[in-house]
Amino acid sequence: MDSLIARALDTAAARGATYVDARMVETAQERYSVRTGVVDVISNDESVGMGVRVVVNGAWGFASTNTMTAEAVDRAAALAVEIAKASATSGGPKVELGPPVTSRGVYTTPVEVDPFSIAPEEKLALLLDTDERMARVEGISARTGNLIFIRERKAFASSEGANVEQTIYEAGGGIQATAVGSGEVQRRSYPQSMGRQQGCAGWEYVRDFDLTGNAERVASEAVALLTADRCPSDITTTLIIGGSQVGLQIHESCGHAIELDRVLGSEAAYAGTSFLTTEKLRDFRYGSEQVNITADSIRLPGLGSFGWDDEGVPAQSTPVVEAGRFVGYLMSRETAATLGLESNGTMRASSWNRLPLIRMTNVSLEPGEWELDDLIADTDDGIFVDMNRSWSIDDRRYNFQFGTEVGYEIKNGKLGPAAAQLHLHRHHAGVLELLRRRVQRQPLDHVGNAQLRQGAAGPDRPHRTWCRPGPLPQRARGGNAMIGEDAALNLLERALSLSTAQEADVYLSSQDLGLTRFAGNAIHQNVSHSNVTLNIRAVEGKRVGRATTNDTSDDGIRRAMEAARRNALLMPEDPAFPGLPEPQAVPRVASWDESAATCSPLTRAQMVNEVCRQGAAEGLDTAGACRTGVHEIAVVSSRGTRAYHAGTFAGLIITTRSDTSAGWAKGGSWRLEEIDYPALAREAVDKAVRGRDPQPITPGEYTVVLDHYAVDDILEALSLYGMGAQAVQEGRSWMCDLQGKRAMSQPVSIWDDGGALDGWPMPFDVEGVPRQRMELVENGVVNGPVHNTYTAAQDGVQSTGHQQYFTGPPIASNLFMRPGSSSVEELIASTERGLYITRFFYTRLSHNRGCVMTGMTRDGTFLIEDGELRHPVKDLRFTQSYVDALAGVEGVGDEAKLVLNEVGFATRVPAVKLASFNFTGVTV
């Protein structure tokens, strides 16, 4: 490890880098999941790789490799230098890092019990026992439980002399019970509502949750909520927020708001900016004097705990708010230097092939001296709420709304019966200014700790990853050579030959992503991401085990194959498992563009520079991302399946901002020439220029004309929350009770087609089953969902080829909506009074039935009066059933545009006019 890191430093320095750091990471992960009595997943996942970061000519470059040889490391270091030179052409500010960092040492997460020393049988028994106890409660339609354990070994060194090694352990788990009845879907979760609670700790962390002891309570509470009263609405009262919900509140609207890169605008096109601008430091009243918030990367078992960050800066505790006054940011070396300060150690990468970013440490609201029971007893009239169900926040981390799983009315110091789903919206400081009491530290976790695992947020989906879960992207142009069909299939055949299971299949995913990010009218990140991952299923009778690896040596593959079979033997028999699919002919889809495949960092830089030039000409701050690359997928199974596909992708996202407005544009295709970057720049600039000085508007029901970006959000939500058969079978889908009925307006037709060249083609799924065209909604009538092999067998039908990921439910991911006959201008002209909306932001599911979503408008919202755009309006919060919205379609645009959200998910959609859309509040 040391020799390869030293080689990376030497190679980059010899090619002209004035600063170099290299980070080598080996990750091992165990996952266990039980779903409604069935062991859903037992998987061992391993990965290894190195990332090299350099400064050349005052600009950053980054490249990575998963091949641990001297030659591969040399290529990565050389590519990082090439990328940095391309970045320097944008003429942005020179990188300044402040004082040198020369940390040395070794750190290991202190654990009582190494989670990898606990037998898999014991872990599985815990989940099965917990599931059986939830099943004792009548009325539960779906039960889930999961455990996860991670060990990350990381070595970091820099040209300044830093040299540190760390072993970080993580452990987590959680359960959830879902009850369905009379059109209602209610759930209760424990100990967190985000799937699980996770911390830097050992087996003792999960053991102390006592999942089994809480199982029947969680299930009983879910069933009780079906008949519970709703929490009172439209009232002003004392509010007590439980620790779980406070944790999310602090995480989302405090922790993210103090990330200095966000404050300085470099995340403007991604998850947004911050209301905590630099002039507010030490001079802004953040909350009442009861409010003290700390960012502490030393405090265990918080998930943001470590020895050194990924710049070699030591872990430390930083005051963020003291007695209600804002006093500190989360800072990197570069961002701290802009304020004349030093980094407080918050730069971390989500993987070896990711550039480190400022990422939240353990941001906590410090405890007070009151017990929760005392707070309740001290309240004559109020509401106690806990456990998040939905969350949405604006791009400045200021205006928010959330819904909880449960609430309790408080009368005369006593809790009343449970009530379902309270929804609250307000601006953040307005809540903390009213804080009167803080409880003592809870035994489970620190109130407000960053307990959610920090993933890399995508530029257009802050709550979703840039690439789908699974293999991380690899190889930008100039990196490793493309694998190719013969080599890919031969690799999988070799893997299959090393299996000793009765049956097996292996799915290969390889990606080469070149990503150029810009902000402040200049490139600030330019990277190459690359990886090749093998996803293995081993079958023993009706038992399935899984494993993944990116080590394609014989030893690495053999370990993964043995792990998959070992996991299969741990599984109980699943009578519903239909076996691996029989081989089918897979159609060839020609979605390869040589220009996209060979696009260089310099070409992307030239595209970005033109975009920035247009923004600067209008006095706008321009930010965004340009990406190009190659993806390869292949499947080989012991039943004879052999399938391969290679394709390309290109995309450009642009955000333009003035002091009072913002604009947005986005283009995507598998053809580079279809990215008309000058036109996209003009679109984003025009929105920002016309959107200056927005006016407030009264919330309520409005007719809306949705740009295709907003329509894309509707289709993606309909897919994720109900177009898959698993959700229908469990009663959680918006499709439930609507199949065969006209639930939407006659002009609405939606289909999924993985082979369509005017989308982003994926001709087969991870099981090697050809993707079928699926008519999901025809002329407003809802048809059936998409299937994988497992769900199809339960319904007695054939798989439609929609197993999108290695684990998880089937998903419709290449969606189309039929265009109409009206131009956008005609849709606006036909509207007497309404709103034109460019896009939605941070949308979250509020209620399954009807696909009720909550979110906000962003980047260009305008009042329509007498058929004309009158003036811009301030962004609005909404809570709206997407199904009901599409039941009121009054017009459909005549041009459908492709929105490539992520690698593997795309929509081609027109603009739409809707009769009514429900807005619940206006941003401030």
User: Per residue in 533-591, pLDDT tens?
Assistant: 999 999 999 999 999 999 999 999 999 999 999 999 999 999 999 999 999 999 999 99
Of the pLDDT bands very low, low, confident and very high (cuts 50, 70, 90), residue 418 is confident
Query: Does the pLDDT at position 236 exceed 90?
Result: no
Residue 184: predicted pLDDT: 86
Name the phi and psi angles at 387, rounded to 5: 70, 105
The mean pLDDT value for 880-902 works out to: 95
The mean pLDDT value for 80-95 works out to: 95
Q: Cα(800)–Cα(579) distance, rounded to whole angstroms?
A: 16
Q: Which two tokens stand for residue 729?
A: 């079978």
The mean pLDDT value for 285-306 works out to: 95
Q: Which two tokens stand for residue 146?
A: 């999961």
Of the pLDDT bands very low, low, confident and very high (cuts 50, 70, 90), residue 237 is confident
Residue 910: predicted pLDDT: 99
Strands (E), 670-780: 700-706, 750-752, 774-778
Q: What is the dihedral of CA 525, 528, 532, 537, to 10 degrees?
A: 20
Query: Does the pLDDT at position 267 exceed 50?
Result: yes
Residue 456: count other Cβ atoms within 10 Å of its Cβ. 17
Are 865 and 871 in contact by the 8 Å Cβ rule? The answer is no
Residue 481: predicted pLDDT: 61
DSSP 3-state of 196: coil
The mean pLDDT value for 747-766 works out to: 96
The mean pLDDT value for 114-133 works out to: 98
The mean pLDDT value for 742-746 works out to: 98
Q: Cα(548)–Cα(176) distance, rounded to whole angstroms?
A: 26
Query: Does the pLDDT at position 426 exceed 80?
Result: no
The mean pLDDT value for 726-730 works out to: 95
Strand-strand pairing, 814-817 and 905-909: parallel
pLDDT above 70 covers a percentage of the chain that reads 93
Q: Cα(383)–Cα(423) distance, rounded to whole angstroms?
A: 12
Query: Does the pLDDT at position 476 exceed 80?
Result: no
DSSP 3-state of 733: coil
Least confident of 50-54, 246-250, 420-424, 772-776: 420-424
List pLDDT tens digits, range 650-673: 999 999 999 999 999 999 999 999
Query: Does the pLDDT at position 459 exceed 90?
Result: no
Residue 799: predicted pLDDT: 98
DSSP-assigned letter for residue 159: T
Which residue from 563, 579, 766, 663 is spatially nearest to 29, judged by alpha carbons?
563
Are 673 and 870 in contact by the 8 Å Cβ rule? The answer is no
Residue 529: predicted pLDDT: 87
Query: Does the pLDDT at position 478 exceed 60?
Result: no
Query: Does the pLDDT at position 457 exceed 80?
Result: no
Query: Does the pLDDT at position 450 exceed 50?
Result: no
The rounded mean pLDDT for the chain is 92
List pLDDT tens digits, range 676-702: 999 999 999 999 999 999 999 999 999
The mean pLDDT value for 287-310 works out to: 96
Name the phi and psi angles at 628, rounded to 5: -145, 160
Are 787 and 802 in contact by the 8 Å Cβ rule? The answer is yes
Of the pLDDT bands very low, low, confident and very high (cuts 50, 70, 90), residue 1 is low
The mean pLDDT value for 186-210 works out to: 95
Query: Does the pLDDT at position 195 exceed 90?
Result: no
Are 806 and 754 in contact by the 8 Å Cβ rule? The answer is no
Query: Does the pLDDT at position 914 exceed 60?
Result: yes
DSSP 3-state of 796: coil
Are 550 and 531 in contact by the 8 Å Cβ rule? The answer is yes
The mean pLDDT value for 764-783 works out to: 98
Query: Does the pLDDT at position 703 exceed 90?
Result: yes
List pLDDT tens digits, range 358-380: 999 999 999 988 999 999 999 99
Are 638 and 504 in contact by the 8 Å Cβ rule? The answer is yes
DSSP-assigned letter for residue 298: S
The mean pLDDT value for 611-638 works out to: 97
The mean pLDDT value for 856-861 works out to: 96
Query: Does the pLDDT at position 454 exceed 70?
Result: no
Distance (Å) of CA 641 to CA 210, 296, 497, 586, 673: 44, 51, 14, 9, 35
